[in-house]
Structure 1
Amino acid sequence: MKTLLFIGHPGHELLAYKLLLSEKPDVVYLTTGSGNKNKSRIHESINLVNSLGLEVLFPFEPFSDRQIYDLILQRDYEPFLILLDTLEVLCEEKGYERVIGDALEGFNPSHDICRYLINGLVSRLMSNNKELANYDFLQDELHKGQDTIKEDSIVLDLSEDELQEKLKACVDYGELKFEVERFMESFGLDFFKKECFRRVTDLTKVINWDSEVPFYEEHGRRRVNEGVYEKLISFNENIKPLALALLR
């Protein structure tokens, strides 16, 4: 099945390594993964994807994290709507039958925007009588060991050789080495042996957390109080209007 893997941050493809091997998707990144230090890590992901004989596409120039946060704080949603148009054209040109991308978790605004874009894209195509199977994969909840597998999920088990190959790719990814080692210590090798991609059917969902505010807002408030961030990204003021615009 011709597949598009649309990823919020470079490095997420490590959680879809078996998918890269077995389904051979085209890969598109929303951001460069530059973080607060404005140092891009997308080159490492491009090298990894290319080493597997796959292609990273650039239908648009990925945002730096600083750019995406500035747009959110300024409530300038037009670039995201243009990006949605671009993704729609890409799907029509490439004839994708399935799209897989970040889950809605409230952990990071860019991850959630990636999901809103995907759901908005699928909704648009459906309105034009075109089908695009829609799947997500967890980032934060998976790291907490709270994976959920349903009957309509795609579950991929890695062979021993594939596992060793994946582990090497994880360790060799310099920008994420510390995080990878932390997961190994916390969860062991079992964490890396299985990949789960969940079918998404609710295209209107904007919230997927039980707390009063998402994690990124709680974390952002602490960072503002510490003087690290100047302004707070609020779900109600900044993210929800963008989500509704993309899902409209």
Structure 2
Amino acid sequence: MQPSIAFDSSPFSGRVRTRDYAAPFDITAARAALVVAHPSHELRLYRWLELARPGVFVLTDGSGRVGQSRLGATTRLLADVGATPGTIYGRMTDAESYAAMLRKDVNLFVGLAVELAEAFERGRIDYVAGDAVEGYNSTHDVCRLVINAAVALVNKTRSNQIANFDFPVVGKPDDCPPDMRSQAIQVWLDGEMLERKLTVARCYHLSVASEVEKAVNEIGIDAFRTEWLRPIANGRSSNSASEDVPFYEAHGANQVAAGHYTSVVSYREHIAPIADALGECVEGRA
């Protein structure tokens, strides 16, 4: 379901292991960027944020169907950990993002990828982390496509290649296939760090608190003791997309039936054209 945008994977060799993490390089010295579809996704990587202090790019304001932005909560969190907002930061409302996908506004998403690539170049970014493709939310999946294209654009002309990683936004946070672990970033949280992370998540925003409790109850607290950033190779994430109808299509149909939306975003009709346009952008730019 996810098209391939080819680029080299991690340019680093020689694994680093400390009391806090294991990685193919020193994550506290390398220049990092985080790219997410919505504010609050960064909570999944809270300890990594403290260690890496990345530039953070957020496509939407996280306002959802109710129109209440979560961007301010992310701004406060980033200040607390020493991370910085990027040039793309709450660029669209959730409703605007959904509408852009419905009208197949490929130029908007290509423009985001180009702008992101330029920001990576200016910041001399060494590695990028971002949302995984999980088939759960169309904006999450498009965010990953935009990241892959941006990284590919930079790597076409750069000898020091940007390494590209994803992380599960809704899946188990400790999920990383065994064959990827030697090139992945693994961050460990002791009891005190885990409690701090969960406290920050619970206090982040009223709309998120219940989601945190649901995730802890369904997944189990032990799963949150590890943060995995998994390597992307050949434009594909560790979640190899299947041919099944993604969750966001079924959920969208229910939302239409409930009168919340008038149309449903589907992979084939709306996401695939965006993916194709991003691939053409990468191939076409010198």
TM-score for the superposition, normalised by structure 1: 0.92
1:165 aligns with 2:216: no
- Tell me, in whole angstroms, the C-alpha distance in 2 between the residues paired with 1:28 and 1:138: 17
Q: Identify the residue that residue 164 of structure 2 maps to in structure 1.
A: 134
1:116 aligns with 2:145: yes
Contact 2:78 2:84 in 1 (8 A): yes
- Tell me, in whole angstroms, the C-alpha distance in 2 between the residues paired with 1:243 and 1:102: 15
Q: Match of 1:190, SS?
A: helix
1:163-222 superposed Cα distances (whole Å, 9 cap, x missing partner)? 1211110110122000001122223321321101100012268x9433532110111112
Equivalent AA in structure 2 for residue 231 of structure 1: S
- Tell me, in whole angstroms, the C-alpha distance in 1 between the residues paired with 2:120 and 2:243: 35
Q: Identify the residue that residue 208 of structure 2 maps to in structure 1.
A: 176
Shift in Å at residue 158 of structure 1?
Answer: 0.8
- The number of residue pairs the alignment matches comes to 246
**1:212 corresponds to which of 244, 248, 251:** 244
* Structure 1 gaps, min length 5: none
Q: Identify the residue that residue 193 of structure 1 maps to in structure 2.
A: 225
Shift in Å at residue 60 of structure 1?
Answer: 5.8
1:93 aligns with 2:122: yes
Distance 1:204 1:139, change over 3 A: closer
Equivalent AA in structure 2 for residue 55 of structure 1: T
Q: Match of 1:198, SS?
A: strand
Shift in Å at residue 61 of structure 1?
Answer: 5.1
Q: Match of 1:62, SS?
A: strand
Contact 2:136 2:247 in 1 (8 A): yes
1:20 aligns with 2:52: no
Q: Identify the residue that residue 72 of structure 1 maps to in structure 2.
A: 101
Shift in Å at residue 139 of structure 1?
Answer: 1.6
Q: Which moved more, 1:53-62 or 1:195-204?
A: 53-62
Q: Match of 1:57, SS?
A: strand
Where in structure 2 are the equivalents of 1:148-159 lying within 5 Å?
148-149=177-178, 150=180, 151-159=182-190
Between Structure 1 and Structure 2, which shows a larger proportion of strand residues? Answer: 2
Equivalent AA in structure 2 for residue 218 of structure 1: A
Q: Identify the residue that residue 68 of structure 2 maps to in structure 1.
A: 39
Equivalent AA in structure 2 for residue 178 of structure 1: S
- Tell me, in whole angstroms, the C-alpha distance in 2 between the residues paired with 1:245 and 1:167: 39
Contact 1:3 1:98 in 2 (8 A): yes
Contact 1:119 1:203 in 2 (8 A): yes
TM-score for the superposition, normalised by structure 2: 0.81
- Tell me, in whole angstroms, the C-alpha distance in 1 between the residues paired with 2:248 and 2:166: 19
Shift in Å at residue 82 of structure 1?
Answer: 1.4
1:64-119 superposed Cα distances (whole Å, 9 cap, x missing partner)? 10101111111112121111121111111110010110001111111111100111
Equivalent AA in structure 1 for residue 263 of structure 2: K
- Tell me, in whole angstroms, the C-alpha distance in 2 between the residues paired with 1:209 and 1:57: 29
- Tell me, in whole angstroms, the C-alpha distance in 2 between the residues paired with 1:220 and 1:146: 26
Equivalent AA in structure 1 for residue 166 of structure 2: D
Contact 1:123 1:247 in 2 (8 A): no
Shift in Å at residue 230 of structure 1?
Answer: 0.5
Between Structure 1 and Structure 2, which shows a larger proportion of helix residues? Answer: 1
Q: Which moved more, 1:51-60 or 1:217-226?
A: 51-60
